[in-house]
């Protein structure tokens, strides 16, 4: 399955980066493509959240289950979505000292496609996973550094 992964250095401590990542309800404030974000439930370190994202060609809605390890990582899996079969991913944080954090973002997205377009599924998946990655990382970096 196509996936994308990138690592960046953020000029903020792991707790600030983790705070930005786990403030799911605020995603629409600093991620341009997110038009709606809501935490549906929380039980310990497992969160269920719903989002609506405008990917320019259409608005998509989905719900994911996120598992948090404080100041270390967040991973997620798709529960339901109107456009995706798979949306799995993670953030992994590493303290570099001096108030900086190495953040690795990994995502795998597989869209639901009509039978007639199945031959393009991998190309569509790759475009979705990699297309917004630089902007997403830049937005989380700016948000973390502003906290």
Q: Quick one: average pLDDT of 125-147?
A: 82
Mean pLDDT of the chain: 90
* 125: phi then psi, degrees, rounded to nearest 5: -60, -45
Kindly state the helix (H) or strand (E) to which residue 90 belongs, with its residue range.
strand 84-97
Tokens of 87: 């949306």
Instruction: State yes or no: pLDDT of 118 exceeds 70.
Output: no
Cα distance between residue 80 and residue 37, in whole Å: 15
Tokens 């917004």 found at: 132
Q: Quick one: average pLDDT of 15-26?
A: 98
Q: Which residue, among 59, 56, 81, 62, has the nearest Cα to 24 in the 3D structure?
A: 62
Q: How many residues does the chain have?
A: 147
User: pTM to 2 decimals?
Assistant: 0.90
Task: Give me the residues paired with residue 36 across strands.
Answer: 52
């Amino acid at each position: 399955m196509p996936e994308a992964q990138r690592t960046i250095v953020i000029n903020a401590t792991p707790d600030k980066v983790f705070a930005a990542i786990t403030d799911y309800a605020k995603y629409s404030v600093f991620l341009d493509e997110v038009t709606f974000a809501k935490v549906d439930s929380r039980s310990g370190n497992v969160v269920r959240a719903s989002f609506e994202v405008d990917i320019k060609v259409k608005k998509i809605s989905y719900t994911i289950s996120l598992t948090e390890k404080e100041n270390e990582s967040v991973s997620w899996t798709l529960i339901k979505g109107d456009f995706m079969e798979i949306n799995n991913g993670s953030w992994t944080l590493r303290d570099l000292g001096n108030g900086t954090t190495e953040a690795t973002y990994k995502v795998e997205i597989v869209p639901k496609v009509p039978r007639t377009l199945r031959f393009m599924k991998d190309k569509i998946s790759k475009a979705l996973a990699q297309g917004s990655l630089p902007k997403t990382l830049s937005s989380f970096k700016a948000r973390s550094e502003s906290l």
